Amino acid sequence: MKLEELVNRNYQQLNDNDLYIWNYIIHHRKECERLSIDELALRCSVSRSTILRFSKRLGLKGYAEFKVFLRIDNQKNDKNALTDNIFNHYIETLEQYRDYHYKEIVQSIYEAKNLYVYGTGVIQDNTAQHLKRSFSMVNKLFLDIDVLADFEAYINLFGSNDVFIAISYAGENQRLLDYVYRLKAKGVIVVAIIANNDCTLSHVADYSLHVKTLPVMTNQGRREDLVGNYFILIDFIIANYIEYAKSRGNE
């Protein structure tokens, strides 16, 4: 459903502030794709809670879902929007990844006795395999845990200052979280790689890296996420590891 349809359907619930926000958005569609809730609030001279209430009055869960609808609408309105969005998305992502603080993470990997990795889904498991291959180039062996059931077989092998990297989408898998709590109690350093940067796993982990995914509408009308940024983030991690290892005199 298009945003215009949501606005029309819920028009009676919208107040003057909501209509002002909507008017700003329809005149700055492409710009608003990239704005955070605070940035949009500033441009509309309202509070972030006003933006959030506007999104919910349209029947959406929040501002993040509103931006998904806006991106999809913009793709429909511009025949070149999808490729342009992908291009801009990757440029923004590269800039974001460049500015992440990797030193503590790669130092932990460098100094760890044992390294473990787990991915919660197909894409995340593929990312875990890419991480394993990447670090094998620098003689660092990650043991991947295939399924959560295997944790019981490995849990006693974990020790203080070992590193466990959890690759997830939502970061709310309760069984994974239960194991993470147990690992942290043993002194294991937990690194989260997640698409949802405001989740339980991101708050529990010692370090958290946010993966930016891009929602697109397929020609069959399905919403899918482009997930190549998982693999790009691993490339940034290994590059920072190599630089750190060189600084320690280990080429």
Q: Which tens digit of pLDDT belongs to each residue from 125-143?
A: 999 999 999 999 999 999 9
pLDDT of residue 34: 87
> What is the tally of structural domains in the chain?
2
Coil/strand/helix, residue 193: strand
Asked if residue 84 is part of any domain, the answer here is no
Torsion from C-alpha of 154, 156, 161, 167, nearest 10 degrees = 30
Residue 64 and residue 161 share a domain: no
- Asked if residue 79 is part of any domain, the answer here is no
Same domain, 70 and 105: no
Phi and psi at residue 63, to the nearest 5°: -70, -35
Q: What is the largest CA-CA distance in the chain?
A: 67
- What tokens were used for 96? 């974001």
Percent of the chain with pLDDT over 90: 57
**Residues 141, 30 share a domain:** no
User: Does 127 fall in a domain?
Assistant: yes
Question: What residues have CB less than 8 Å from 174, skipping those under 6 apart?
Answer: none
Shared domain for 132 and 245, answered yes or no, is yes
Counting every residue, how long is the chain? 251
Quick one: angle between helices 37-44 and 16-27, nearest 10? 110
Asked if 56 and 147 sit in the same domain, the reply is no
Tally Cβ neighbours within 10 Å of residue 145: 20
> Which residues, including other chains, have CB under 8 Å from residue 142's CB and lie 6 or more apart?
115, 116, 117, 128, 131, 132, 135, 165
Domain-terminating residue out of 24, 42, 74: 74
* Same domain, yes or no: 129 and 237: yes
Q: What is the pTM of this model?
A: 0.68
- The domain of 38 spans 3-74
What's the pLDDT score for residue 71?
85
Residue 40 lies in a domain: yes
- Same domain, yes or no, for 55 and 112? no
Task: Output the pLDDT for position 78.
Answer: 61
Burial label for 17, CB within 10 Å (0-12, 13-18, 19+), is middle
Residue 48 included in any domain: yes
pLDDT range class, residue 147, cuts 50, 70, 90: low
Q: End of a domain among 59, 74, 89? A: 74
Are both 110 and 64 inside the same structural domain?
A: no
The answer to whether residue 250 scores a pLDDT higher than 60 is no
CATH number at residue 232: 3.40.50.10490
| Residues in CB range of 223: below 8 A, 6 or more apart | 68, 72, 215, 216, 217
Among 81-90, 145-154, 237-246, the minimum mean pLDDT is found in 145-154
The answer as to whether 86 is a domain residue is: no
The answer on 219 and 129 residing in a single domain is yes
Do 154 and 233 belong together in one domain? yes
Query: Is 32 part of a structural domain of the chain?
Result: yes
pLDDT, residue 1, reads 58
Residues 135 and 47 in one domain: no
Whether residue 175 sits in one domain with residue 66: no
